[in-house]
């Protein structure tokens, strides 16, 4: 998550909410009504593409246009994305945050305000209203796409000031959300009567204590918990956990075991061994930051030998979500298309960044790579050759014939003899970058070529 600049503290009217038998009944009635209204949406989810069968789209970037139109923007694109081979979309944090209509959502205040309560200076979130969000999710499901929620549970923001008797200091930990759900006080944050801190605080925000039963109940355990409300009422299918370095892996594991759904953590670390450790502890996937940094070294540093280095997908491809850039990194480097050719032909679950797809790169070429990923890129991987400028690898095939990918970071055409999995077989470059159609020898060797600063992908014709 981007390091947020210090947010302006809004003066929030103190709303006194009486919680007695009648209000409890009203909440339960409202929940049952919401669940009933979404029952048809839940039954329709059986027709979704399996997550991991295609490619994930990160359906936002940092500072998308404010004004409450983003959900409509994304809704207009989901069918085209599905047609291209996308199987899931990852949305930004969807509920009201301290900075109201200007927030990207990473400073969460009310986990149940999806853009319907007038608090934190606005009714809608930066992205739109609750009804617009549910319309987007419904349209995504109609397009067979799963919807991944960005969940920020390390820290909160926007509470009123109160004295914490543990340390005698005033903190912004008195949360009175207008949704009437998940009120919080100093005892739900650090320090408290259980311990002073956990794995890590972020940006000076109040740090939630996940060892408190009350916090666990509201986040994932109770029938009205954040996790169950997101899944059963709003319609989310999976989770992207923000800043998981800030709390222990068991939190994500418990959440996933309680409510299910695809889960991936943002453990920002370039060490493949550390990522492998975290995924084994949390029993979910992680973004492959090791792969991200090695690609940057390879394509920006002009040394493709770095693609031989350790990455999470090489240790456990079923837990690796690969990416070229995201809302936190989003720098433009010269080898982006080569990097996409890498992740879309290799193991792991690849992610495409919204601006790369819709604004910055060649959409036709990306769609071609998505097709290659979904139709040719299966089986184990063997690296056939690397040097500073050239990289050749093959996928051995599982539900397809496999492929050979040839990446060239030099300024001239390159040719190379490689050993394939195919004997006496006519092959072609499925990217269209080469018009060669060679026949492999009886010993499975063949000469292939690749244009400058480009890539080719070879498989039986």
Q: Can you say which residues are annotated as belonging to the binding site? A: 154, 217, 389
Count how many residues are written for the chain. 461
Rounded distance between C-alpha atoms, residue 63 and residue 150, angstroms: 15
Q: Count CA within 13 A, CB hemisphere, residue 294.
A: 21
100 in Cβ contact with 124 (< 8 Å): no
Rounded distance between C-alpha atoms, residue 458 and residue 449, angstroms: 10
* Long-range contacts formed by 138-141: CB under 8 A, 24+ apart: 138/41, 138/235, 139/75, 139/78, 139/79, 140/75, 140/78, 140/89, 141/41, 141/44, 141/45, 141/47, 141/48, 141/235
Rounded distance between C-alpha atoms, residue 200 and residue 385, angstroms: 42
Burial classification of residue 436, based on how many CB atoms lie within 10 Å of its CB (0-12 exposed, 13-18 middle, 19 or more buried): middle
Binding residues for Ca(2+): 154, 217, 389
Which SS3 state, helix, strand or coil, does residue 395 take?
strand
Which sequence positions are flagged as catalytic? 242, 266
Contacts of 361 (CB under 8 A, 6+ apart): 336, 337, 340
- The token pair at 368 is 């071609």
User: How far from chain centre, in Å, is Cα 12?
Assistant: 32
Rounded distance between C-alpha atoms, residue 461 and residue 296, angstroms: 33
Instruction: Please report, for residues 286, 306, 309, 393, 459, the alpha-carbon distance to residue 272 in angstroms, rounded to integers and kept in the order given.
Output: 11, 14, 10, 20, 30
- The token pair at 431 is 């990217």
């Amino acid at each position: 998550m981007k390091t947020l600049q210090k947010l302006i503290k809004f003066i929030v009217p103190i709303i006194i909410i009486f919680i007695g038998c009648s209000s409890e009944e009203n909440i339960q009635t409202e929940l049952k009504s919401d669940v009933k209204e979404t029952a048809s949406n839940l039954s329709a989810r059986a027709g979704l593409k399996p997550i991991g069968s295609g490619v994930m789209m990160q359906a936002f970037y940092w500072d998308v246009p404010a004004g409450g139109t983003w959900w409509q923007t994304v809704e207009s694109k989901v069918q085209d994305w599905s047609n291209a081979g996308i199987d899931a979309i990852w949305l930004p944090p969807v509920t009201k945050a301290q900075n109201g209509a200007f927030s990207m959502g990473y400073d969460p205040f009310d986990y149940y305000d999806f853009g319907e309560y007038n608090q934190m200076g606005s009714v809608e979130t930066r992205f739109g209203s609750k009804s617009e969000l549910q319309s987007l999710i419904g349209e995504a499901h109609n397009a067979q796409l799963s919807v991944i929620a960005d969940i920020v549970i390390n820290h909160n923001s926007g509470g009123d000031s109160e004295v914490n008797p543990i340390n005698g200091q005033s903190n912004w930990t008195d949360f009175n959300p207008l949704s009437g759900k998940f009120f919080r006080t100093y005892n739900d944050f650090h320090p408290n009567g259980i311990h002073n801190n956990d794995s890590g605080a972020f940006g000076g925000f109040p740090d939630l204590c996940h060892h408190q039963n009350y916090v666990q109940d509201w986040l994932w355990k109770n029938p009205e918990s954040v996790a169950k409300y997101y899944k059963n009422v709003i319609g989310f299918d999976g989770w992207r956990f923000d800043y998981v370095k800030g709390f222990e892996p068991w939190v994500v594991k418990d959440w996933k075991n309680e409510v299910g759904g695809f889960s991936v953590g943002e453990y920002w670390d370039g060490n493949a061994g550390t990522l492998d450790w975290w995924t084994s502890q949390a029993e979910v996937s992680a973004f492959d930051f090791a792969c991200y940094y090695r690609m940057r070294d390879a394509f920006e540093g002009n040394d493709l030998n770095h693609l031989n280095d350790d990455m999470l997908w090489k240790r456990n491809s079923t837990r690796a979500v690969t990416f070229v850039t995201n809302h936190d990194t989003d720098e433009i480097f010269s080898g982006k298309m080569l990097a996409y050719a890498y992740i879309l032909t290799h193991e792991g679950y690849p992610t495409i960044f919204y601006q790369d797809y819709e604004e910055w790169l060649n959409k036709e070429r990306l769609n071609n790579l998505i097709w290659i990923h979904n139709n040719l890129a299966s089986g184990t991987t063997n690296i056939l050759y690397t040097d500073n400028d050239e990289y050749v690898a093959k996928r051995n095939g599982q539900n397809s014939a496999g492929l050979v990918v040839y990446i060239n970071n030099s300024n001239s055409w390159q040719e190379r003899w490689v050993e394939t999995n195919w004997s006496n077989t006519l092959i072609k470059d499925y990217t269209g970058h080469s018009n060669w159609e060679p026949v492999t020898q009886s010993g499975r060797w063949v000469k292939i070529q690749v244009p400058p600063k480009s890539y080719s992908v070879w498989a039986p014709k």
